[in-house]
Amino acid sequence: MSEIADDDLRAVGASWPALTALAIVGVMSLAMFALDIAVDRNTAEHTSALVENSLRSVALADDLRYQAYRLSVANLTPDQIASIAEQIDADARAYDPIANADGEADEWTRLQGLLAHLRHEQPLSTTGSSAVLISEIETSIARLVRINQDEARHSADQISAAHARGLEADAVVGGLTLVLVGVVGLVLVRALRRQRALLRAQRASSDLRTKELAAFASRTAHDLKGPMSPIRGYADLLSLQPAPEVKEMARRIGRAVDRMTGIVDDMLELSVHGRVVMGKVALMPAVLEAVEELRSELGDAEVSLELAGELAAACSPTVLGQVLRNLIGNAAKYRDPKRRLALRIEAHKVGDRVEIAICDNGLGMDAETRTHAFEPYYRATTTVPGHGLGLSIVRRTIEAIGGSIELVSTHGEGTRVTVAVPSA
């Protein structure tokens, strides 16, 4: 079995390739996101700088052209010349930091020299001798505007190139991501196929084991019920005797045979299908029958019944009888020899369940015994006969029909076992 399990695990395959690919996909997606942010931020900065520098340069060049024409007017007063010179100086201070394009600084220096020359010729005469100087200033300003236009086109080309590089990077990362997603999908599909094949193989193996278990359980049940037939026959013969005590003995033997046959059938169903036989059983007759069958074990015990109304449990009479006999038998076996056994059986309906409580004043259990009470083959003492299977069988049977069991016990005071079963 261990070799088969190891082969099955190897057939499923390792999960690390798919997990690694998923991690890479996540990292690449984050990288692509970061790259897009960086490209967008760089583009925004270049665009803002381009627009601001271009607009500012053109505006300052236009203002300098305007101030140059103002200076070209003849017969200006000293105050007018000072005002124009002050404005030219302000424009120059604003233009100096942004004159950073190729050739712009040289042309800007030349323009400043021409403007200074024009200022030194003030006041101009009316002969029009400054016309040549004004023309040179106009030409210099036109060159500055053209330099800024060339720089703007260059910046636009850089922005376009950055966008193109960003798109190329996105395409490469996106392509790799798609490839990795495809690899992950392929790995997952192959893993699912292997798992389906493994499940089919395990189901076939489970079906085979179930058939073998059913055949074995059927043979065992047949062998167990085989000796019951002659016992039933002898009980029938005894029932023909006229003596009343013999007839009663035959009746009890017959009931024991029937109960043993029912237990074998229920054990067969539970071992093969994992469930007990369902049905409906009235609680009061089942309790009275269990107490009557265990009367010899109970001896002089004081038995009291507190059953509320006409209660019925959703299980077969065999199942409930087996549970009751087991719990009542435990109370009889573990009685305190120093006092008379007082046994109280309570039953009432709680919601959709019937709760049955069996309380005694016997030896009780300590904490260690309570912890292991439902474990198979566990026995707290060897002075009381038994095999340590009673409570474990009761719990498995109760849970198989959808019920529950609870044990409360105090050493030296007694035990209370509460069984909750579905109500019929």
**Amino acid 266: pLDDT:** 57
Q: Taking a C-beta distance cutoff of 8 angstroms, is the pair 383, 394 a contact? A: no
pLDDT given for residue 77 in this prediction: 79
Predicted pLDDT of residue 414: 92
Q: Full-prediction pTM beyond 0.85?
A: no
Secondary structure of residue 161 in the 3-state scheme = helix
- Among residues 232, 191, 243, 153, the alpha carbon closest in space to that of 19 is found at 191
What is the token pair recorded at 144?
């500055």
The Cα 110–Cα 105 span in angstroms is 9
What pLDDT was estimated at residue 3? 42
Distance set, CA 127 to CA 118, 123, 327, 418 (Å):
15, 12, 136, 128
Local confidence pLDDT in tens for the 424 residues of the chain: 444 445 554 555 556 666 676 677 777 777 767 766 776 676 666 666 666 777 777 788 888 888 778 877 767 778 887 888 788 888 888 888 887 778 888 888 888 888 888 777 766 654 555 677 778 888 888 888 888 888 778 877 877 787 787 778 778 877 887 787 787 778 777 877 888 888 888 888 877 876 777 677 677 766 777 777 788 787 777 778 888 887 788 778 877 777 677 667 656 655 554 555 678 889 898 899 889 888 888 888 899 998 877 889 888 888 888 889 889 988 988 899 899 999 999 999 888 999 999 999 998 988 888 888 888 777 777 777 766 777 888 888 888 888 999 999 999 899 999 999 998 7
**Residue 123, preceding bond cis, omega within 30 degrees?**
yes
Structure tokens at 345: 């059986």
Report CA 69 to chain centroid distance, whole Å. 79
Residue the block writes with tokens 């549970």: 323
Is there a contact between 364 and 411 (Cβ–Cβ < 8 Å)? yes
